[in-house]
Copies of this chain bind each other. A is one copy, B any other.
Amino acid sequence: MSRELSARLLGELQQLVLIDPHTHINPHAPASKTLADIMGYHYYTELAHSAGMAKHRIEEAGLDPKLKVGRLVEWLHHLDNTIQVSWLVELCRKFFGFEGDRITPANWEALYDRAAKKMAEPDWEDQCLTQSGIERVFLTNDFDDPLTGFNSERYIPCLRTDDLVFHLAKPEVRQRLAKATGHEFTNTLGLKDSIGKLFEHFKKHGAKACAISLPPWFSPRNPGLSEVRGPLHRLLANEALSAEEALRVSEFVFWTLAEYCVEYRLPFDLMIGVNRRVYREGVFQGQDLFDQRVSLIQYQELFNAFPQVTFPISVLAQSSNMELVSYAWIFPNVVLNGHWWYSNIPAYITLDCRSRLQAVPRSKNVGYYSDMYKLEFAWPKFQMYRQVLSQVLAEDFVIARGWTEEQALDLGQQVLRGNVEAIFGV
């Protein structure tokens, strides 16, 4: 009974057209052109490398796309158990008429050609979105993105701020900031102004969120200006900062971002817990990991200081989910946001989805985002989430608590779509 019920709920939830609230889509090239764009997604390159494929076979300069796919396919039999490869197979079946259950050295080439032909159709982007049931897509824009030349009804800008908070000591970052704002800052006030100009620019172009990913050791605080002046001076002089000095600058920029989120009424997406470049010889985007010893208690000052700002929060470690549930249960401005990266597999989504639906107000739960780089991934990733969600709704709500199917669907629709509209104001 549970299985039929869950399938029925899934069927209904698949009808709902969605807004994807966090992606890395390039709005100037949102869809793939070949399977190399699709299989170039770091999940496949890093897993193939993890299984033994040499990095240079993947990242060789000038590598022909088709050759690259052929090489990756040789390693897929080591990865076919992974949910990530199931996304690949599912999207090939949905979009490219693939009928197998494995992509192999024997069948990949025909698939490659068929896919390339399909993706060459001039309206492929539209087709893909329509078939995927996605109508709007949040972007992750560099702070100096001009935000022009794309359909801003469909693609919603989002100000990504990692570079500002953690890499302001790099001259090129400051140069980009100067160019974007028409102003070279020389002190704390000037830096604040420059950041303000970015918010103004983004807000004018329809941005719906400010976002950042944060290492596990970061703990936001509002440093006094006197603490920041010295380090900022030295940074502007291109002197090497101590770890403590660099932290003062990061704290200052971060706190300034939160202040502008108040002024510009933007949610501040926090993606908490990633250590960058842990595996230094890893493939592109396949080097980052984490330290589970992180706590949302590190954010208590922030949450207390900015009651007017909504913080949609993603955590990287599954062991952080319970804290996230509890903080969202208590703090009005803390909101659940999707299932991030290493947590984005059915085993963990199931545990997390269940606790979130049982303990956090339903209006504070953004169920899922795809985090995709190319549009073709929205469908299989959201589908994975919908399957988990349907099962949890069936078991925990309809069966265990006697809800009607309509009530359960209503809850499902709210976390899949309604809350994205309400929380991000789209």
Contact = CB atoms under 8 A, between A and B. Distances in A.
A293 B293 contact: yes
Interface stretch (A103-111, A114-122, A361-369): A361-369
Given A359-B82, A361-B78, A289 B279 contact: no
Nearest to A362: B81
B297 A275 contact: yes
A258 interface: no
B47 A329 contact: yes
A50, A278, A282, A401 — most chain B CB neighbours (10 Å): A50
Contact of A358 (B290, B296, B345): B345
Given A50-B331, A364-B51, A82 B358 contact: yes
Contacts of A330: 46, 50, 278-279, 282, 286-289
A290 B323 contact: yes
- Interface residue SS majority, chain A: helix
A387 B363 contact: no
Interface in A346-378: 346-348, 351, 354-355, 357-364
B304 A297 contact: no
A421 to B, nearest CB: 15
Interface residues of A, number: 76
Interface string A24-61: 00000000000000000000001101111000000000
A173 B222 CA distance: 34
B359 A345 contact: yes
A80 interface: yes
Interface in A221-273: none
Contact of A322 (B319, B387, B400): B319
A152 interface: no
Nearest to A47: B361
B292 A278 contact: no
A94 to B, nearest CB: 14
Contacts of A287: 330
A297 to B, nearest CB: 4
A329 B78 contact: no
A300 interface: yes
Contacts of A357: 81
A83 interface: yes
A295 B291 contact: yes
A147 interface: no
Given A81-B411, A347-B359, 14 more contacts: A46-B330, A50-B361, A78-B361, A82-B359, A83-B359, A279-B300, A279-B304, A282-B331, A317-B323, A318-B322, A342-B359, A345-B358, A347-B351, A387-B400
23 contacts: A47-B329, A50-B360, A50-B364, A78-B361, A81-B358, A101-B403, A278-B300, A289-B297, A289-B327, A290-B326, A292-B322, A293-B293, A322-B343, A326-B342, A329-B342, A345-B358, A346-B354, A346-B358, A346-B396, A347-B351, A347-B358, A347-B359, A347-B396
